[in-house]
Amino acid sequence: MDSDPFQNNEFERSIPFNPELLSSLLKNCIFEKNVIFKNVIGSTNVFLKNLAQQGYPEGTVVIADEQSAGLGRLGRQWFSKEGKNLLFSVLLRPGLLPNQIFILTFIFALAAIEAVQQMTGLGAMIKWPNDIYIREKKLGGILTEFAVQKGVVQHVVLGMGLNVNWNPTTEQKLLYPTSSIFAETQQAVSREQLLHKILKIFEKMYHEVIEDINPAERFYKKWNDKSAILGKSVVIETGKERVQGEAASIGKDGALTLICADGHERKFLCGDVSVKMNFSEL
């Protein structure tokens, strides 16, 4: 018998996601009513943004086993193996201001980190502003998109790709050092149970956010505690410049404060920036 699970053909076989199981686990949750599952879709975010415009309610979830045009931040592709990982988007209609939407990205990441910790014991972290990292490798990413009309947020679509039962080292198209729960633990995890946990934990934090008049105050210590980059030397790329420095803190406005080589502090907002922790990343 082959003892290396990565060499084991059984493991390489994909197990289809079971949306009925997820729905049964999601009882009494805002995500209970509209669970939409697709075997293959272009992008769960694009699909859900369309539904949002048609008036679908808050709590609609779209999950796919495979995306043919998965999107990452900054126009990048999101690559995943069919039937192995979590690829999903949720629709929210919070009464938040556009400059508070970053809080939802952070609590979405915190929910995934907490769920992974509860199910596997792994200590994943947030790589500001939207990545989930484990030991300097990417475990997942979040794509947050929202529509604003006359200064009012109409809807928010939070999309997450999380590497679960995949062996990323066998793939060629990866942009970053990449890991998965399986690669870290050699244990396959139920994607339905993991997604259920993520959504339940997220729902609790989401209610705290929308009911609090100052939600950043409540959560900013948590996103600093779970930051993968604080105290580390990083390079920030804004499209116009590359700035190297030590990541010092992430503020209540979501901005990263960097201490540059000359000792000056610079603040970077979450927008169109990318962060590199090591030079093997593109």
> Which residue ranges make up the site for ligand BTN (CB under 6 A)?
43-45, 67, 70-73, 76, 78, 87-89, 130-131, 141-143, 159-161
Scored b (16 or more CB within 10 A) or e, 7-26 reads: eeeebeeeeebebeebbebb
Largest CA distance in the chain: 64
- Of 1 and 85, the one with the shorter C-beta distance to ligand BTN is 85
For the bound state, the minimum distance from the C-beta of residue 26 to ligand BTN, rounded and expressed in Å, comes to: 18
Closest distance to ligand BTN from the beta carbon of 144 (Å): 9
Alpha-carbon distance of 134 to 113, in angstroms, equals: 10
What radius of gyration do the chain's Cα atoms show? Answer: 18
For residue 94, the minimal CB distance to ligand BTN (Å) is 19
Choose between 87 and 256: whose C-beta lies nearer to ligand BTN: 87
CB of 262 to ligand BTN, least distance (A): 31
**Closest residue to ligand BTN, Cβ-based?**
141
80, two tokens:
């995943």
φ/ψ region of 43 (left if φ > 0, alpha if ψ in -120 to 50, else beta) reads beta
Pair of tokens at residue 149: 């009309």
User: What's the closest the beta carbon of residue 212 comes to ligand BTN, in angstroms?
Assistant: 26
Q: Please say which residue, 60 or 130, places its beta carbon nearer to ligand BTN.
A: 130
CB of 38 to ligand BTN, least distance (A): 11
Amino acid in position 60: T
Q: How far apart are CA 133 and CA 124, in angstroms?
A: 6
Q: Is the peptide bond before 129 cis (omega within 30 degrees of 0)?
A: yes
CB of 166 to ligand BTN, least distance (A): 13
The residue (of 153 and 160) whose beta carbon lies closer to ligand BTN is 160
49 φ, ψ to 5°?
-60, -35
Of 237 and 246, the one with the shorter C-beta distance to ligand BTN is 237
**The amino acid at 92:** L
Nearer to ligand BTN, 44 or 167 (CB): 44
Alpha-carbon gap, residue 51 to 63, rounded angstroms:
14
Minimum CB–partner distance for residue 224 and ligand BTN (Å): 20
Residue nearer to ligand BTN on the CB measure, 173 or 214: 173
Residue 250, token pair as written in the block: 């992430």
Residues 269, 112: Cα–Cα separation, whole Å: 23
5 vs 56, which CB is nearer to ligand BTN? 56
Taking the CA atoms of residue 89, residue 93, residue 94 and residue 96 in that order, the dihedral angle to the nearest 10 degrees is 100
